[in-house]
Amino acid sequence: MRIIRKLYYRIFKAIANIEVPVDAGHFGILDRQVLDAIRNLPEKYRFYRGLRAWVGFKTSFIKYERQKRVRGKSSYNFFSYIHHAERSFFGFSYLPLDIMVYTGFFIVFISFIAGLVYFLSRMISVQSINESVIIMFIVILFGGVQLLALSIIGKYIQVIVEETKARPVYIVDEILKNGKTIK
C-alpha cells in the first residue's frame, strides 16, 4: 500500500489543476485562518487534501516516519483509497475530460482521413470498394463523433459544477489599514 500511495500522490500532482504537495497525508496541523477558509467553502463533496492546497496559504512540512499501529486495525481498505483517489481526480483535475475531448477529435479526424484515402485509392486504382471496410469507417467515425459530443457536454457540466461549488475567487490573508494589519 505504501508504493500505491506514493504512486497516487505523484499522479495526482501531475494531473491536478492546483499545486498539490507530494506525500502530504490527510493529517495536518492547520492555522485557524486556514481552517476557517476551508470551513467557509460551501461545497459538500470535500477532499480535504486538495482543499488544503487550494486555499493557498503558506505551508510547511514536517517529515516523520510512520510508526506501526499499536492498537486496532485501520478502517481504510483498498476501496477506501480508490474512493479518495476518485474524489481527488474529479474534484481537482480536468485532465480525464480533456483527454476524452482530444481522443474524440483524434478519432473523428483519423477515421475521416483514412476513409477519404481509402476511397481515393480505390478510385485511382479502379478497384471495387469493400462494403465491410466502409461500414467499419462509418462505425469508427460515428463512435468518435459520439465521444466528442459527450465530452463536449462533459465540459459544459464541468463549468456548471465549478459554478455550483461557489468557491471564492480569492481568499483574503490579511487586511491593511493605514499600514496596520486588521485581520
Distance separating alpha carbons of residues 164 and 15, to the nearest angstrom: 22
Sign of the torsion angle spanned by Cα atoms 39, 5, 92, 75: negative
pTM of the model: 0.69
Distance separating alpha carbons of residues 150 and 58, to the nearest angstrom: 39
pLDDT of residue 183: 62
Taking CA atoms, 129 is separated from 121, 146, 150, in Å, by: 10, 26, 32
pLDDT of residue 109: 93
Helices (H) and strands (E) in the chain, counts: 6, 2
Sequence length of the chain is 183
pLDDT of residue 145: 94
Q: What is the mean pLDDT of each run of 10 residues along the chain (183 residues)?
A: 83 86 75 86 80 84 79 81 84 88 94 89 83 89 94 90 78 74 69
DSSP characters over 21-90: -TT--S-----HHHHHHHHT---SS--HHHHHHHT---------PPPPP-SS--S--HHHHHHHHHHHHH
pLDDT of residue 148: 93
